[in-house]
Every structure is written in C-alpha cells, then in structure tokens.
A and B are shown apart, each in its own frame.
Chain A
C-alpha cells in the first residue's frame, strides 16, 4: 500500500525529469553557468554572470565559436553546495561543453565532484579560495579568480614600506571568509608577520564593539579584513569608527563589491583593498565601454571576471577545433598569455606548469577607497 503508492508516484515524477538528457544540439555551443539569484551569494555571483552574458552576446555578434552561437544555460544554486552539485549534473545532462561556477567557493567545490565524475571542463572565473584546485585532484577544473594567497602577497608588497610586524585578522563565520582568513594567515606566516589574533563576527551579531576592543587592546599595526557578509562587515566598520580606531585596514577583493560602498557609506574612507581591475588598462577600457553601452551603468570589477571567463572558454573551444570535452580541456589547460579586462597592466592569464589556477601572481592591484568610490590603482603586482 504505502510502498506501492510511493513507487508509482515516484516513477511518474521521474518520468518528468528523465527527459532532460538532451542530445547535444549541432548548431549551438552550450555553456552552463551556475549563479545565485536570491541567496547569500547574489551580490557577487550575479554581476559575474552579467559579465558572462555580455561576453557571450559580443562573441555571438562576431560570429560565435566554431561558426556556432553560444547558448548559455543558467542555473541557480542559491549558493547551497548540495544544490550546486545537483545543478551541475543537470547542466551536464543538458549537454553543456563547459560549466562555469560563479557562486561561493564551497558550492563550486561540491560542483567539482560532478565535473570530475562526468569529465566536463569546469571553470570558476571569480572564486578565490586557494583550496579549490588543491583539495580535490580534478584535472577538469580550472580557476582564474585571484587566489587569496596572491591577494595577500600583493597587499604585503604594497605595505612593506610600512613595516607591519603584528596584525589582526577579522572575519565572519561564513565559509568563504574562513577560507580567506586561513589563506591570509598562511601568507602572513610566510613573510614573518605575526597574526596576533583572529576575531569572528558571527552572522546575526548585533555589535562588533567587543571584537574590535580586543583588536585595539592587542595593539596591532594593521587589521586584515577577510569578511564577506554585508551586515557583519557594516558592524565592523561602525565599531571601528565608534571606537575611534586608527589602525590601517587592509581588505580582500571582496571590498571591490560596490554594494558595500552603499551599505557602509562614509565608513570606508582610506581603506586599502586588493582588486584585480585596473580601469586604465586598454582591455578594461574596452570592456567598460561595451558594458556601459549595454547596461547604461558603470561596471564594477565583477562582471569583468565573467567577461574574461567566457572569452577564455570561447578561445579554448576555437583552439580545440571541436566540442569534444577532452579536447576543450586540453585547450584550456594550454592557455597562456591571455590578456583580459581583469588583471594589472601587463599581466595575463595562463595555466603554467600544469597548475590549474590561472591568475597571474603579478595580476592583483591595490586600490584605496576615497569619497565612497574605489580609487585608482596605487600599486600593481608583487614586485
């Protein structure tokens, strides 16, 4: 009774879903995109997806890839890791050649199990967690986002003249933030700077005064901001201002997300942060012009990651000369010298020495927030 009812209901439901295994259409190139439209990752995933959409549109206008148009299949994983894996499988069943993951690093990581199992090329244009290419030995997965370790190293090169000896790390309790903090710590250890303490502002906190008082008491030379969550970041800046603190704040590339400027208006003056976008770079200018024409507003750095990502994928498919996944993978892995909108002047993407992380170590830049705007680049690379 119960079981039979269950089995038949199940078969019916499955019949609805089983029909999703579409044969690869011959006149389009299907590229899968995993984004977050409503969840906690929306404010960094959606801009990147926009960049991909714009890039795909431009490529199609110029004739597409291998004479075929790019068709983007976009799935929403709500920044939930297990949903991300499920959506990745759906994309594979839909016949995509490449999967692009734009949501949080943990979600991308779980989706990796799918790209590994189904042997599908998988690219994350913007994720920065160092462990994505190391935790799982997945030759199908590539990462072009600026690694947290590179971000830290670039920051440290910029501040070398200031001779920081002791710093504090402040983060929230989200997965990405914890991963950043870990990378920061490793990097700091590497250059002999002491991490005096690591403070956590948990989601739902109503005040960061206690955390920052502790930081102040530790008498550090600088504070490294590894936070991601908006409201908690806001409290950090509020408490910092309220306590009248003066320690320099060094932020990760998350501070390049424009939403923070609105939310923490007037609170982030003089904050130093890492970015991978130099507006004066020719490719960046070209990207910006196209973006403004299409969307009627200034881009932040985020869409540029997506823009570069889709172009890299398209270029690889062209080079591979076919839609065979293994050939595309090889072509991606052989990419070097790709100069895109992202990256400091003179830097380029490339997967060197068999590494699947392609961000140029010299490609990060340092900017300062002035007048509630992302200021111009003050330093490039790690020299």
Chain B
C-alpha cells in the first residue's frame, strides 16, 4: 500500500513536468532542488539538532565537483559524479570530526566559516573554477546513451527528492534516528544510555552534507551554469527559515516550508516588491514564538488523528 502511494506520488509529480511551460518548469525544477536540500538540512537541524550553515557549501562542492571533473577535466560522467559525491563525503567528514565537538551556535559559526572559505576558494580558483563568473556552456552528457533533457530531467529531480525523502525517512525511523533525537534532547543522557555521541554526530553531518552535494550536482544541470552567488549566505538563511516555518524535525514540514517559501516570492514580489523578506523574518519570529512545530504542527492540530 505504502509502495503504491509512493509510486503514485512520483508519477504525479513527474507527469506535472510534462505539463508545464518554460518558466513554470524552471520554477518547478529549482523548487525540487530546494526541497531536496531542505529535507537533508531538516534531518541535520531538526532531528539531530545540529545548527550548521554549510549546507549550500556542500551543495556547491557537489555541483562544482561534478562539472569540473566531467567538463574541465574530461572524465566520464559516471566517474565525475561518483568523484564529486566522494569528495563531498570526505570534506564533510573532515569538517565534522572536529566541529561536532562544538555546541550550539559555535558549530553554526564554524560551518559558516567553512562556507565562506569555500566561496573564497571558488572565487579565486581562476581557470579551474571559473572564478566569480563561474562555469557555463556544459551539458549533461548522455547516460547509457540517453540524453536526459527537458521534462525528463525534471523527472530526474523528482526522483532525487523521492530518494532523499525515502532515505531520510528510513533513517529517522531506525535506531540511528532515535539515537539522533536522544542526542538532541540531552547528550549526556544519550551517552549514559550507551550511544556513541561523537560517532553519531559525525555520521549525521557527513550523510546530510553528502545528500546536499547530490542535490547540488543535480542543480548544476538545471541551467547548465554554476557560479558562486547561488552557494552564498543569503540562501542558507532562506533554507533555515524554510525549516523553521514549515516544521522542524519532520520531513513533511521541510517540504511544506520549502514549497511555501520558495513560491511565495513569485507571488508576493509583484505586489510588495522586495519587502516580502520582512514578511519572512516576521514569520520566522512568529513561528518560534507561537508555533515551534511550524506549519505542519498547525495542520496536525486540525487533524487530531494519525501521526504516531
């Protein structure tokens, strides 16, 4: 039954790809990437309680990694993709091992520093990274002889979201997920219960950052252009806001938050111009003050059954 539901949703989301015009497809695709990022970020932040600002940096590692390896260095696409993901995992691990010793906002700032360093490296990377102008003009190479273009690439993104969601749901319901929640609630108690706190934290950080890298690699082929601004600071605030407003700790919350905050500017901008950002800030403050479970918590209140 559950599998059928999954299949139906995936087909519905993919079918949508074939029905949309150029602009709507662009919005839909980028929204899917944001949803994927929100899902992994939500696990890191909402479930495991680690506030980090490096999610977009790792997306950048994935994006730049796959493009540089395949387009600039000429490696076969499969190798490039695997290489980029591996690089992501490695870097995430290197960052995670010392940083997970830090508590709360100190972790956030260490990851912020890492994210800024990533930007400096990319900006000053000269020919290899394209500097501040980025890299353009590449195309997604044929995979097994199929060229994934147009709506078919959107389907790829749908599958990316489905995969990320599936993985994170499994993780959350496993003993690993319980361990993460225990650590978030009270690390000392968790350790006393026999949980290896350090190891769990490092694995969580590495895993979610690698998922971010995967989303980043997928993003690289949406516009076939990558440049530094997309992986900068403004977007990580937006991602954090999505999780807070949507509902921390719940994948559904991440999805709701991502869809809402991604689409809202398109609707609001013609009306209030840039001021929609003030609205987001206010929403975040309101959410934390009055509805920490986010919008998804609101929905739950209205539907008293379910949600074991």
Binding site for B on A (CB under 8 A): 1-7, 9-11, 13-14, 16-18, 20-21, 37-38, 76, 78, 80-82, 85-86, 89-90, 92-93, 105-106, 109-110, 112-114, 118, 129, 131, 135-137, 173-176, 178-179, 182
The CA-CA distance from A105 to B274 in the complex, in Å, is 22
Per the bound structure, the CA–CA distance linking A176 and B6 in Å amounts to 46
Q: Report if B194 contacts A (CB, 8 A).
A: no
**Binary per-residue interface labels of chain B (151-165) against chain A in the complex, 1 for a CB within 8 Å, 0 otherwise:** 000000000000001
Question: B54-62, B80-88, B185-193, B261-269: which one contacts chain A?
Answer: B261-269
Q: Are A2 and B255 in contact, with the CB atoms below 8 A?
A: yes
Q: How many residues of chain B are within 8 Å of chain A by beta carbon?
A: 46
Note all chain A residues with C-beta closer than 8 A to B184. none
| Contact yes or no, B225 A17, CB < 8 A | no
- Evaluate contact between B21 and A13: CB separation under 8 angstroms: no
Q: How far is the CA of A114 from the CA of B259 in the complex (A)?
A: 24
B145 at the interface (CB under 8 A from A): no
A2 to B225, CA, bound (A): 32
Given A76-B269, A118-B22: A3 in contact with B165 (beta carbons within 8 A):
yes
**Residues A89 and B26 in contact in the complex (CB < 8 Å), given A14-B16, A82-B230:** yes
Query: Complex Cα distance A4/B227, Å?
Result: 34
Partner of A113 from B10, B12, B224 at Cβ < 8 Å:
B224
B167 CB to closest chain A CB (Å) equals 14
Cβ-neighbour of A5 out of B165, B229, B252, B274 (below 8 A): B252
Distance, CA A76 to CA B273, complexed state (A): 9
Contacts of A137 in B (CB 8 A): 137
Whether A106 lies near B24 (C-beta < 8 A) is no
Does A105 lie within 8 Å of B133, measured CB to CB? yes
Which positions 247-294 of chain B face chain A at CB distance < 8 Å? Answer: 251-252, 255-256, 259, 263, 266-267, 269, 273-274
Chain B interface (Cβ < 8 Å from any Cβ of A):
5-6, 8-10, 12-13, 16, 19-28, 30, 123, 131-134, 136-137, 165, 223-225, 227-230, 251-252, 255-256, 259, 263, 266-267, 269, 273-274, 306
Contact of B259 with A9 in the complex, beta carbons under 8 Å: yes
Complex CA distance for A112 and B132, rounded to whole angstroms: 17
Chain A contacts for B16, CB-based, 8 A: 10-11, 14
A81 to B223, CA, bound (A): 10
Q: Which of A92, A105, A175, A182 lies in contact with B22, CB distance below 8 A?
A: A92
Contacts of A13 in B (CB 8 A): 259, 263
User: A7 with B132: in contact, given A18-B21, A81-B227 (CB under 8 Å)?
Assistant: no
Residues A106 and B256 in contact in the complex (CB < 8 Å), given A89-B22, A90-B23, A137-B137: no
Q: Which residues of A contact B263 (CB under 8 A)?
A: 13
Q: Is the interface of A mostly helix, strand, loop or mixed?
A: helix
The distance from the CB of A317 to the nearest CB of chain B, in whole angstroms, is: 22
Give bound CA distance, A269 to B9, whole Å: 66
**What residue in chain A is nearest B137 (Cβ atoms)?**
A136
Closest to B254 in A: A2
> When the two chains form the complex, which single residue of B5, B23, B28, B229 contacts A20, counting CB atoms closer than 8 Å?
B23
Distance from B205 Cβ to chain A, minimum over Cβ atoms (Å) = 24
Given A131-B133, A173-B132, 10 more A-B residue pairs with CB atoms under 8 Å apart are: A1-B306, A2-B251, A3-B5, A10-B13, A10-B28, A93-B23, A112-B136, A135-B137, A175-B229, A179-B133
A81 touches B230 (CB 8 A): yes
* Docked-complex contact B21 and A20, CB < 8 angstroms: yes
B224 close to A93 (CB less than 8 A):
no
A residues near B5, Cβ cutoff 8 Å: 1, 3-4
Q: Is the CB of A113 within 8 A of B165?
A: no
Given A11-B16, A76-B269, A106-B133, does the pair A4, B9 have CB atoms closer than 8 Å? Answer: yes
Q: Which residues of B contact A173 (CB under 8 A)?
A: 123, 132
A-chain residues with CB within 8 Å of residue B227 when the two chains form the complex: 81, 106, 109-110, 175
In the complex, are the beta carbons of B273 and A174 less than 8 A apart? no
User: Would you give 6 A-B contacts (Cβ < 8 Å), ordered by A?
Assistant: A1-B306, A6-B255, A38-B273, A80-B229, A86-B27, A131-B133
Shortest beta-carbon distance, B266 to chain A, in Å? 7
In the complex the two chains form, is B274's CB within 8 Å of A38's CB? yes
Q: Once bound together, how far apart are the Cα atoms of A80 and B231, in whole Å?
A: 11
Complex: A173 Cα to B229 Cα, angstroms: 12
Contacts of A5 in B (CB 8 A): 252, 255-256
Residues of B within 8 A of A10 (CB): 13, 16, 28, 259
For residue B162, which residue of chain A has the nearest CB? A3
A13–B259 Cα distance when bound, in Å, is 9
Residues of B within 8 A of A14 (CB): 16, 19-20, 24, 28
Q: Is A7 within 8 A of B13, CB to CB?
A: yes
| Nearest CB of chain B from residue A189's CB, rounded to whole Å | 16
Q: A81-B227, A179-B132 are in contact. Are A17 and B13 (CB under 8 A)?
A: no
Among A9, A10, A21, A113, max chain B CB count under 10 A is at A10
Q: Looking at B6, B24, B224, which has the most chain A CB atoms within 10 Å of its CB?
A: B24
Residues of chain B contacted by A2 (CB below 8 angstroms): 165, 251-252, 255
Known: A106-B229, A135-B136, A135-B137. A3 touches B9 (CB 8 A): yes
Does the CB pair B134–A106 fall under 8 Å? yes
Nearest CB in chain B to that of A179: its residue: B133
Q: In chain B, what residue has the closest Cβ to A137?
A: B137
Which among A3, A76, A81, A82 has the highest number of chain B CB atoms within 10 Å?
A3
CB pair B21–A21 under 8 Å, yes or no, is yes
